[in-house]
Chains A and B, each alone.
Chain A
Amino acid sequence: GAVVSQHPSRVICKSGTSVKIECRSLDFQATTMFWYRQFPKQSLMLMATSNEGSKATYEQGVEKDKFLINHASLTLSTLTVTSAHPEDSSFYICSATGGGDYGYTFGSGTRLTVV
């Protein structure tokens, strides 16, 4: 079946630094990838949608300059949290779809802690 690999699974960074999270589709071409954020004991909130080769579309209230998304190939999307602050600490999950059949495959998530 479709597999999405997300890396790293956990990262701790200092306030003010940037962190990059990778999301790869291993056995299919992901025409569209999605990035979600999940606060403790809460639901997943869609942050942005990215299509290969084009700029990401951000949901209302998401700072595009803070959360940089790159979808340079059909198998890789990256989320860079720039100038991270403690309030950016969260669980980030990516999802990918190859189109059709409304199949969304999720990565295993990245726990970001900013200290």
Chain B
Amino acid sequence: AQSVTQLGSHVSVSEGALVLLRCNYSSSVPPYLFWYVQYPNQGLQLLLKYTSAATLVKGINGFEAEFKKSETSFHLTKPSAHMSDAAEYFCAVSSPPVFGKGTRLSVIA
């Protein structure tokens, strides 16, 4: 079965600091990997997806993620956090997506 593990249920960064949200996956086949963002009481918005093309995937709002097969990782990064980035972030694997537990990102002014 395919699954993802998100390390850290809550991450707090200062505005302007680097954002790093960690995701490790388990998959017996080449995975499809996704990062989604969820704002309170809303659905999910796709940030980016990996589908076996380039290993460095650029998404919306300045986010990007790098697929590292040797580490079975797909960490999400953003060079400079904005207050508006505060939300819940979900890593997902497979098709249809199987979600991790989520990481809540707080941005401190």
Contact = CB atoms under 8 A, between A and B. Distances in A.
Interface residues of B, number: 20
Tell me if B's interface is mostly helix, strand, loop or mixed: loop
A108 interface: yes
Contacts of A34: 96
Nearest to A2: B46
Interface residues of A, number: 25
Contacts, number: 48
B96 A104 contact: yes
B80 interface: no
A67 interface: no
Name, among B32, B46, B101, the residue most crowded by chain A CB atoms within 10 Å (CB to CB).
B46
Interface in B24-75: 32, 34, 36, 41-46, 49, 51
Contacts of B41: 9, 91, 109, 111
A46 B95 contact: no
Interface string A16-56: 00000000000000001010000000111110010000000
